[in-house]
Structure 1
């Protein structure tokens, strides 16, 4: 490797490092938001569970409310919780990918210097 290409390589690695750090921060913020959302769905489900089948449930549709079957409301909340947990798993995989990029960028920088 020539002395002229070293600064170019370091600049490229540094740019990738900054980009990976930025993406990692974004993904971590998304994971935290999804954790809050999952907690809300879990709390809602736990509050609904002890209510009986005779409980009237309403679902917001635009500016009005429609009566909903209790079992359907409970199942919908469970689906939302499951979906949110799947989103968290996908974001964690994305976070791992960005961490790997970060490590590879650091390794390249160390090899170049």
Structure 2
């Protein structure tokens, strides 16, 4: 019984650690998404005849506006997918941690 309780507790602790990691990752992806959205919004005001530059390492390369917008759209779609996947993982680990806590409570009650 003691061994089972320690295994459940380890699982709960592991899930809580995973939750913290996932929450940090979600926050980072949401920040990146916000930056991309702001960049796209700024590009809406740029005329088609204006020069647009994209960063390439330490230098900037002249690009056409359509390709920059397409790249931003693809990046935002990828970030949204990543956030959605991370949210599913978050839900899983929240459920796992909650279930582990409930099992530990039941074990403690049965011992008492």
> Structure 2 length as normaliser, TM-score?
0.88
Distance 2:37 2:59 in 1: 25
Aligned length: 108
Aligned ranges 1:42-53 → 2 under 5 Å: 42-53=37-48
How far apart are residue 89 of structure 1 and its match? 0.5
Counterpart in 2 of 1:3? none
Aligned ranges 1:59-78 → 2 under 5 Å: 59-78=54-73
2:14 counterpart (12, 19, 29) = 19
How far apart are residue 60 of structure 1 and its match? 2.6
Q: Which runs of 5+ in 1 are unaligned?
A: 1-5
User: 1:98 aligned to 2:93?
Assistant: yes
Distance 1:65 1:33 in 2: 24
Runs of 4+ with >2 A deviation: 59-66
Tell whether the 8 Å contact from 1:49 to 1:74 is kept in structure 2 after alignment: no
> Structure 1 length as normaliser, TM-score?
0.87
Q: Secondary structure at the match of 1:58?
A: strand
Distance 1:31 1:54 in 2: 37
